[in-house]
């Protein structure tokens, strides 16, 4: 199971710009982020934790799933995987995640000509 594991934030690019683009202007950006992924075949439990806050989604690749945004609102979207990369269209951005070496690399891209690409690199711990 390539994704299964616990990861700690190593670096990120354009996080503040991304938060602004999706309307989370008051979110803190100076915290330790831990991502934990449980994988059983095509079934995933994906949890991100910072001090005093946790966000979890359960989904199955190849199916439409009910997911939760960072702000807590629910939506439905298909979850796909191509070339080892998970892909989900969130309401305000497109999310992808892949394993490169011992790192979990996540990208969130907002739409439009002035779209923002937020990249987070997490090291397996």
What does the chain look like in DSSP terms, one character per residue? --S-EEEEEEEEESHHHHHHHTT-TT---SS--EEEEEEETTEEEEEEEETTEEEEEEEETTSEEEEE-TTS-EEEEEEEEETTEEEEE-SS-EEEEEEETTEEEEEEE--STT--EEEEEEEE-
Residue 94: CATH number of its domain: 2.40.128.20
Banded pLDDT at 84 (limits 50, 70, 90):
very high
The two structure tokens encoding residue 44: 């995933």
pTM: 0.89
Structural domain including 11 reads: 5-124
Task: Choose the weakest-confidence range: 16-30, 35-49, 59-73.
Answer: 16-30
Q: What is the pLDDT of residue 71?
A: 77
Number of domains in the chain: 1
Mean pLDDT of 74-93: 95
């Amino acid at each position: 199971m390539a994704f299964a594991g616990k990861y700690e934030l190593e670096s990120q690019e354009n996080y503040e710009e991304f938060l602004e683009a999706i309307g989370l202007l008051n979110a803190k950006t100076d915290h330790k982020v831990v991502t934990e992924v449980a994988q059983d075949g095509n079934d995933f439990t994906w949890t991100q934790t910072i001090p005093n806050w946790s966000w979890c989604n359960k989904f199955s690749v190849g199916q439409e799933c009910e997911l939760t945004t960072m702000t807590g609102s629910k939506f439905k979207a298909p979850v796909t995987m191509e070339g080892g990369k998970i892909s989900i269209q969130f309401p305000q951005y497109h999310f992808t995640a892949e394993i490169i070496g011992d790192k979990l690399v996540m990208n969130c891209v907002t739409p439009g000509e002035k779209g923002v690409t937020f990249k987070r690199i997490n090291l397996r711990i």
